[in-house]
Amino acid sequence: MINVTKTFLPPQAEYQAILKRAWDKGWMTNRGVLVQELETKLKDYLGVSTIIAMTNGTLPLQIAIKALGLQGEIITTPFSYVATTSSIVWEGCTPVFVDIHPAYLTIDENRIEAAITPKTSAILATHVFGNPCNTEEIETIAQKHGLKVIYDAAHCFGVEYKGKSIFEYGDVSTCSFHATKLFHTGEGGALFCKEEYHEKMFYHHNFGHKGKENFQGVGVNAKMSELQAAMGLSVLPYMEQILAGRKEVIALYKNLLKDTDVKFLKLRPGTLSNYSYFPVIFPSEKKTIAVIEALSEKKIFPRRYFYPSLNTLPYINYSEMLVSESISTKVLCLPLHPDLDAEVVMAISNTIKDVV
């Protein structure tokens, strides 16, 4: 069986050796030595100024909305994982959708200003499949209208845009370290922010604590455990191997599918990719479903990612998003992991050719 993703597992002995350090101390959570070490190493690896490791990738979005004091309407994308929209709703704000660029698949910056109202407090945009938004234009719009900017950068570990980490853009960026991601801690995530917001973000993720007995303000428990951090520390040394393997697989896919009616994601100029996903866009939903069925017969399981368009969620007041609604029915993420056999890639590609 070939799934769309496969969790990279380092040698078990290496994970256990790192975890033993926490085990010997009897310190398994509350920001132990492994969490602190992971944050330090990730700051160095990613080239970021701040980082707060958390227990998953959704809580950083919720904490960012809370800590920035956002209210009213938040402009966002309909083409993302559901957590982007649900975090806005969960924190009592209203998502206002802006359609996406048909090639980059990120929020269409040229449509944002038309969606701004007196109730707008922020823009929450997603770097789709690791492909950056037009951060320069979004920043210009945000400054003009006094808005905060949050980036859902769940897919962006290691991505650089115009010479610096993608996490250095906006007021806050978030990342997922879920087991399906190229860098992972089993479950986990992180929040990156401007230095001026770091203290507030930090106490929000730790019950509001200021020392053992005092509290700065309201908080939740979003702390990463030592078990998660140990996994991250054991995966991190393999990142170059993981990236190289994924790059090879994508290159093979592109070569095999180059003369078909399948379209590829257009990478924004100035981007250093992390090869996190390989989405392809078919001519129609009918073709997409036919490919899924043909591959399923061979025990190969791609994923309709992202589907459905988030403006169609049952708890959202529907507003028409023609590009997102169309793309979401035709996009498919093909299996991608660093040790995916070339023969499997060829079998997948040949199946697609037969259908398309």
pLDDT of residue 33: 97
Question: Do 125 and 244 have their domain in common?
Answer: no
Question: Do 229 and 254 have their domain in common?
Answer: no
3-state SS assignment for residue 224: coil
**Could you report the per-residue pLDDT of 128-169, keeping only the tens digit for each?**
999 999 999 999 999 999 999 999 999 999 999 999 999 999
Question: Do 100 and 167 have their domain in common?
Answer: yes
Tokens coding 29: 């959570």
What percent of the chain has pLDDT above 70? Answer: 100
Count up the domains in the chain and report the number.
Answer: 2
Q: How far is CA 283 from CA 44, 256, 292, 293, 304, in A?
A: 43, 17, 14, 16, 14
Question: Do 228 and 243 have their domain in common?
Answer: no
Question: Do 73 and 167 have their domain in common?
Answer: yes
What letter would DSSP give residue 115?
H
Instruction: Enumerate helices (H) and strands (E) in the chain, giving the number of each.
Output: 12, 17
Task: Give the Cα separation of 16 and 13 in Å (integer).
Answer: 5
Tokens coding 184: 């992972």
pLDDT of residue 221: 96
Angle at 227 between CA 223 and CA 230, to 5 degrees: 105
> What integer is the mean pLDDT of 287-298?
98
**Could you report the per-residue pLDDT of 38-57, keeping only the tens digit for each?**
999 999 999 999 999 999 99
Domain boundary among 237, 265, 297: 237
pLDDT of residue 94: 98
pLDDT band for position 210 (cuts 50, 70, 90): confident
Residue-number span of the structural domain to which 11 is assigned:
2-237
- Spell out the long-range contacts of 248-252 with Cβ–Cβ below 8 A and sequence spacing 24 or more: 249/275, 249/278, 249/336, 249/337, 249/338, 249/340, 249/345, 250/275, 250/278, 250/336, 252/342, 252/345, 252/346
> What integer is the mean pLDDT of 245-268?
97
What letter would DSSP give residue 7?
-
For residue 211, pLDDT over 80 is answered with: no
Question: Do 14 and 103 have their domain in common?
Answer: yes
Domain boundary among 181, 202, 237: 237
Question: Do 318 and 209 have their domain in common?
Answer: no
Question: Do 127 and 246 have their domain in common?
Answer: no
3-state SS assignment for residue 101: coil
Question: Do 203 and 264 have their domain in common?
Answer: no
In 3D, which of 44, 39, 80, 48 has the Cα closest to residue 185?
Answer: 39
> What integer is the mean pLDDT of 178-198?
97
3-state SS assignment for residue 205: coil
Task: Give the Cα separation of 128 and 116 in Å (integer).
Answer: 22
**Domain CATH code at residue 42:** 3.40.640.10
For residue 212, pLDDT over 90 is answered with: no
pLDDT band for position 218 (cuts 50, 70, 90): confident
> What integer is the mean pLDDT of 21-48?
96
The answer to pTM > 0.85 is yes
Question: Do 47 and 29 have their domain in common?
Answer: yes
**Domain CATH code at residue 264:** 3.90.1150.10
For residue 231, pLDDT over 90 is answered with: yes
**Could you report the per-residue pLDDT of 326-350, keeping only the tens digit for each?**
999 999 999 999 999 999 999 999 9
pLDDT band for position 228 (cuts 50, 70, 90): very high
pLDDT of residue 260: 95
Helix, strand, coil distribution of the chain in percent, nearest 5: 40, 20, 40
Question: Do 245 and 191 have their domain in common?
Answer: no
Task: Give the Cα separation of 188 and 177 in Å (integer).
Answer: 5
3-state SS assignment for residue 124: strand
pLDDT of residue 213: 78
Question: Do 71 and 175 have their domain in common?
Answer: yes
Domain boundary among 212, 237, 262: 237
